[in-house]
Amino acid sequence: MVCWVRGDDGGFFFFFWLRGRGGCGARSLPEKPNATRKTGVPWRSSAPPATMKVKALSRSAGDYTRERSNDIHKLPRNLDPALHPFEKAREYTRALNATKLDRVFAKPFVGALSGHSDGVYCLAKHARVLDRVLSGSGDGEVRLWSLVDRRTVWSVSGAHRGIVRGVTVFPTEDRFLSVGTDKTVKIWTPEQFELTPPLADNSSEPVSTWNWGVDTVNA
């Protein structure tokens, strides 16, 4: 195999590889203007000198090799702004879309119902009165709220011994059920949903009570 290379002084060099012998060599062609070899390759002439540039890429194996098998593969990136002319436009579009979505899904704060001394574990709305909501807390208290006035309309402190797990309102009557971790289900009848002291005689006792054993399933 023969490779021709033109030098800085205008001369040509050729490299030859000898098959089977494992050797190589180089030879410079003599000066002989306006002459060609039988192979058609021109001899060295008085042409202006030319240069040859060779660029090599060198990368370290540590730049793209993972340290652990769970690591993400490293990808080389060129952060030159000239190679990414639309980067600012894309970032602007993303920021604008994020702002629009925040406005779409924003839920402004309207009000708060305060009064429970423990966490609220259950809620239920009234079937016929739209601004009435029932809540049961972890200390066994049951409260009836007015959403318009944002205050307690009716409450029972210690309605259950433990957490109130569920409350529900009868669809046709002014009564509601409550169930707690004390394995009891109680039916309550508030007096026309008027504000009543928690320890009043007419609201501290349930209308009916059912007790189950240890196999009770709380609803």
Domain count for the chain, please give it. Answer: 2
> Which has the closest alpha carbon to 128: 68, 162, 193, 173?
173
In a domain, 34, yes or no: yes
Q: Does residue 140 form part of some domain?
A: yes
103 occurs within a structural domain: no
Cα–Cα–Cα angle for 115, 116, 122, rounded to 5 degrees: 125
| 115 found inside a domain | no
The amino acid at residue 14 is F
Residue 83 counted as domain residue: no
Q: Per the domain annotation, does 87 fall within a domain? A: no
Per residue in 119-169, pLDDT (tens digit) is 999 999 988 888 889 999 999 999 999 988 889 988 888 888 889 999 999
Q: What is the pLDDT of residue 133?
A: 92
Residue 137 covered by a domain: yes
Q: Is the residue at 12 inside a domain? A: yes
Q: Which domain holds residue 24?
A: 1-47
